[in-house]
Structure 1
Amino acid sequence: MHNLNFAYSFNVKKTTFFVFFLLLLLQSCSNKETIKYDIVISNINIIDLEDGSISKKTVCISGGKIVDLKVTDSLNDYISEKHMDGLGKFLLPGFWDNHIHLRGGDSLIEENKNLLPLFIANGITTVRDAGGDLTSEILRWRKEIKNNTIIGPTIYTSGPKLDGDQATWAGSLVVASQEDVTKALDSLEKIPSDFVKIYDSRISRENYLEVLKQAKERGLISSGHMPFTVELNEAVTSGIGAVEHLYYILKGCSSKEKEITQAIINKELSFWDSMDQLTTTYHDSTAQKTFQLLNNHNTYVVPTLHIGNVLSYLDEVDHTNDPYLDIIGKGIVKTYNGRIKRAISASPEARKSRKALNSFFKKLTKSLNNANVKLLAGSDSGAYNSYTYPGISLHKELEAMVAAGLDPLEALQTSSYNGSRYLQKDKEVGVIEVNKVADLVILNSNPLQEIKNTRDIYQVIKGNKIYDPKEIAKQYDCTECFTILP
């Protein structure tokens, strides 16, 4: 009897304790504060640009940043100001166009500004402006974009280009002496520019190398063309951060680079006349050494294949019915005439050589990628670059890379992933992680299966703003400009 009473008492106490514990747990749950987010995207396929893996998660955004990535999604755990169902859709970092131009002088200020929403409509949340004559306007647009008073991408700009006396492009800073180099870099730092862009139309060999030397000493990021009076290894070892276009890479792959360089210095050979010699003297072992040099110095390369395709066939392709011509300003379209006239008036031999060089550059791009040289996707869109339209041209650049032999993941890496690293912004953007800026693009279909799916855009997120490409298309009255075209 004593044992029975003890067991009864023990069970009562155990039950009481269990009920008390359950009440405490329920009380704790009832007091749990529901988390609030600005934007939530539920159950979306996130593409990891580092390895191409895909994981389904719920993305939580507040204050313009990714604050949580949930494996499971329970609507009871949070409330959000804006909620999107991401089921069946794909999420990537917003695209970067790593080479555009905002330029054309005072008469084209508004026409350039009017094109900024085109980048967002095409999922491009960041652009790299590679030199022009609208620096003060660009700085103003950046503030307006940040304050959400106008629609547009984050703009990283070089400000004016650096070149020699009587430079080709308006607004360039003239560097005709070592003192000029110092003054020019001082000016760029005061802007402040995001990188130094060097052009090659008039700059001397000595001043070009001096720019790179001083920029490196100041810790400035650089990019540019390269005068053919300089050998590629000299530019790379002097610290150039990115080589714009493939002419200069080709030069460094020639077994006769020294001789061709000297002929250029002696004015026995011109830039264009040297191209045939460079392609015929391309040597694989020389190229591999050049590729290794680029890797050793962390030098990026911007192939700009799409504009090469466009310009090489200006004499054959009729662009008069391009839908984008309806939304590009007439002033910008007028600037296309120079290249068009030169293409049409070129000799048959020059036209043939240009097309052959364009084909060679595709093979060179594949070789660079095989050697793990870091590539940047850049369209070179802007005034004076005929029929290379802002926004859509970045997608065509990615497609051109795949056509050249890269797989879709490798092509995608050349946009935001490599772009953020080149400009040393990868701690902020470039991949989808907690604490990264919420510059994102949602696609309806998987770009890893078909690169043209980068155009199949559902929504674009920039910070705390959500943009619908269809709504932006309405303001341009050009629905055809925002569909998947061949």
Structure 2
Amino acid sequence: MKTNPTLYCFALLILLSTACQTETKEKVDLAITNANVIHLETGEVEVQDIYILNGKIKAIKTAKSEQAFEVDSTIDATGKYVLPGFWDNHIHLRGGDSLIAHNKNFLKLFIANGVTTVRDAGGDLTPSVMDWKSQIAEEKLVGPTIFTAGPKIDGPNSTWAGSLEVQSDEDVENALDSLEKLQVDFVKLYDSRISAESYLKSIEGAEERGLVVSGHMPFTVTLGETIEAGMDGIEHLYYIMKGCASNEEEVTEKMKTGEMGFWGAMPALMDAYTDSVAQNTFNQLKENHVFVVPTLHIGKTLSYLDEVDHSNDPYLKYMGRGLVKTYEGRIRGALNASEEARESRKQLDAFFGKLAKSLDTAGVSLLAGSDCGAFNSYVYPGVSLHKELEAMVANGISPLDALRTSAYHGAQFLKQSEDYGDISEGKVSDLVILEGNPLEDITQTQKLYSVIKGTQVFSKEQLQQLLDSATLE
């Protein structure tokens, strides 16, 4: 029997068409649809669908485009705004064994406030922190991704418990060996007792090993020396102010001889701020890719402890009595200070706000960090990161630039941009969905609709439950 060519071709077309229609679509765990996606690098907002598989962004498509995946669950984000999960780039997990449980409780507060990553800038709870870090990575514990410095490096008889005390080149090498063995994510230097020589040697040694290094700066060295040694990040603005003063070298020499102390140097440096010197310093910071952590919110909080009553702060109930007791030292210091010292501190706070704006205008990369933790009075985990963003905007920094100081710059600083920092294919799916547009109103960062942490999804109701479960009263 002869085969009809026309019928044969027709049957083949039907078979091919049917095969195409029944082709299995790739499965994904979650789709966030119709979202206003804020792309921090460009500042553009695009209405897009985000597809997530195994804790990573599988694809990003124009909203309402042809469905490319079989989706397990969907979040309709119509009218909502999506950002990378927030990073708090300066926290402390510390306070000794009696406060381990209090510090662990912080982890809930971070997630409840959309903070999916933290940079722990040195403490005395390293074994616990490393354990929490591992459990969070395996999603056995609810909390933010932790990048930690472990113990700080400082000089002999250092201020903070658990610090690695150095006073010779051999001590510095041993300290760095110890930090590498701990597999810390960066090195943190402190300035309470460290000598100028050990400080610069620590920076150089960390850089030689390929370790990111940040810290305070002893006033016995200049900011230029610090940058030239290879410092990656400057914590707080005291040290930037010193590098912007026309009398920096004079103050440095007086600090070396003991003729001047740290707080005594503040008025002299603030009065000697010189725009031409500052611009040179800003250029040096920018050219050497040095990040700066302004910590404006804690500066204002501590500067006004003598005027503001925090006894009814809603977040006190999450701190626990043991941790709140650590606040007493700073409170006593503020209340017992002379009227002149109080006024000087407030002038310094206002000055730092303007300095942060000048750094941003000059193109220096800022990092949003709250400095929350034991001993830092009334600066609360989670919510204080949002207060830091508000403080930046209040001092003239644009909402977009303020938002960049969190996840976008945080990932760059720690060399984690391959996995974090923006919303693009292949990145870890740490995301926040906001009710409103933070580019128009920075306080919208606190209006959380949902938080996605890897494969974990927290609705608004679940975030409230997490917050409620953190109560320690």
Structure 2-normalised TM-score?
0.96
Deviates more, 1:311-320 or 1:471-480: 471-480
Aligned to 2:220: 229
Aligned to 2:182: 191
Instruction: Trace 1:304-319 onto structure 2 (pairs within 5 A).
Output: 304-319=295-310
Give the secondary-structure state (helix, strand or coil) at the position aligned to 1:200.
Answer: coil
Q: Once the 2 structures are TM-superposed, how far is the Cα of residue 307 of structure 1 from its aligned partner? A: 0.2
Deviates more, 1:401-410 or 1:463-472: 463-472
What is the RMSD computed on CA atoms of the aligned residues? 1.7
Q: Encode CA deviations 1:311-348: one digit per residue, 9 max, x unaligned.
A: 00000000000011111111111100000000000000
Q: Once the 2 structures are TM-superposed, how far is the Cα of residue 35 of structure 1 from its aligned partner? A: 2.0
Is 2:294 the partner of 1:303?
Answer: yes
Equivalent of residue 65 in structure 1, options 26, 43, 56: 56
Match for 2:249: what amino acid?
A: K
Aligned to 1:164: 155
Match for 1:345: what amino acid?
A: N
Aligned to 2:195: 204
Q: Once the 2 structures are TM-superposed, how far is the Cα of residue 100 of structure 1 from its aligned partner? A: 0.2
Is 2:86 the partner of 1:95?
Answer: yes
Aligned to 2:453: 462
Aligned to 1:292: 283
Equivalent of residue 214 in structure 1, options 175, 198, 205: 205
C-alpha distance 155-192 of structure 1, shift in aligned 2 (>3 A): same
Aligned to 1:436: 427
Contact 2:59-2:425 at 8 Å conserved across structures: yes
Match for 1:447: what amino acid?
A: P
Aligned mates of 2:92, 2:204 — CA distance in 1: 25
Q: Encode CA deviations 1:84-109: one digit per residue, 9 max, x unaligned.
A: 11111111100000000000000000
Contact 1:100-1:129 at 8 Å conserved across structures: yes
Deviates more, 1:123-132 or 1:82-91: 82-91
C-alpha distance 318-211 of structure 1, shift in aligned 2 (>3 A): same
Give the secondary-structure state (helix, strand or coil) at the position aligned to 1:265.
Answer: helix
Q: Once the 2 structures are TM-superposed, how far is the Cα of residue 78 of structure 1 from its aligned partner? A: 3.0
Aligned mates of 2:421, 2:323 — CA distance in 1: 31
Aligned to 1:125: 116
Is 2:415 the partner of 1:424?
Answer: yes
Larger gyration radius, structure 1 or structure 2: 1
Aligned to 2:390: 399
Aligned to 2:259: 268
Contact 1:163-1:173 at 8 Å conserved across structures: yes
C-alpha distance 76-91 of structure 1, shift in aligned 2 (>3 A): closer
Aligned mates of 1:306, 1:203 — CA distance in 2: 27
Match for 2:132: what amino acid?
A: W
Number of matched pairs = 468
Q: Encode CA deviations 1:162-194: one digit per residue, 9 max, x unaligned.
A: 000000000000011110000000000001111
Aligned to 1:6: none
Aligned mates of 1:51, 1:454 — CA distance in 2: 19
Q: Once the 2 structures are TM-superposed, how far is the Cα of residue 305 of structure 1 from its aligned partner? A: 0.2
Q: Once the 2 structures are TM-superposed, how far is the Cα of residue 479 of structure 1 from its aligned partner? A: 11
Aligned mates of 1:109, 1:244 — CA distance in 2: 25
Aligned to 2:370: 379
Contact 2:109-2:470 at 8 Å conserved across structures: no
Equivalent of residue 144 in structure 1, options 112, 135, 140: 135
Aligned mates of 2:25, 2:204 — CA distance in 1: 55
C-alpha distance 76-308 of structure 1, shift in aligned 2 (>3 A): closer
Structure 2 unaligned residues grouped into runs of 5+ = none
Structure 1 unaligned residues grouped into runs of 5+ = 1-11, 481-486
Contact 2:36-2:45 at 8 Å conserved across structures: yes
Aligned to 1:38: 29
Is 2:367 the partner of 1:366?
Answer: no
Contact 2:88-2:119 at 8 Å conserved across structures: yes
